[in-house]
Each structure stands twice: as structure tokens, then as C-alpha cells.
Amino acid sequence: DMPRFLPFESISRTDQPIALIAQGRFALYGGDTVQANEFLKQVKGLNPTMPEITLLEAEIRLKEGNRDAAQQLLTLASSNLSSPDWIRKMADALLTQIQ
């Protein structure tokens, strides 16, 4: 139901990188890591320093079973003081789950 509440096309007209992050998360939550990685690649090409990228990539790596890579990314996201608070909190919560 996510696309009904977050119209990706409308978001894309305002902020394409955020729309790609949202689409990547939607794909990931639907279990499609290939599609999630494709959206991740696209957003990295547009704005490679977005803090949301690190969190999404960590979640994808977790879903793929690459716990070590996920843990490194989550630690990075958690310790980045310039990241929004929600990203640091979510990274901390995921780190707690996998430790």
C-alpha cells in the first residue's frame, strides 16, 4: 500500500533522490533486493553523500545475508553526527538486533 500514501512520481518531481530512496525501501520491504540495489545505484549517482543511502544499503546487505557489511554500514550511519536523528536511531536499533 506504500505507493498509495507516498506517490513516488510526485515526490520525484520535487526531490528525485528521496523518491529513489523511498522506492528502494519499498522494493526491499517487498523482498526484491535486486530492484532495491538498482534504486540504490541510481540515487548514489545523483547524490552520493545522502545519509539515507548508508542506511538503505545496510538494510539491503542485511536482507542479502551479508551481516559484516551491514554492521559496518550501520556503525557508520550511527556515528555520523551530521545524519538526521531518525537515521542514527534506526541504525542503532538495527545494530542492537544483529549483535
The pLDDT score that the predictor gives to residue 77 is 96
Total-model pTM: 0.84
Single-letter code of the amino acid located at 50: M
* CA dist., res. 68 & res. 3, Å (int): 31
For every one of its 99 residues, what pLDDT tens digit does the chain have, with 9 covering 90 and above? Answer: 454 555 556 555 556 888 899 889 989 999 999 999 999 999 999 999 999 999 999 999 999 999 999 999 999 999 999 999 999 999 999 999 998
* Cβ–Cβ < 8 Å for 63, 55: no
DSSP letters of 51-99?
A: HHHHHHHHHHHHHHT-HHHHHHHHHHHHH-TTS-HHHHHHHHHHHHHH-
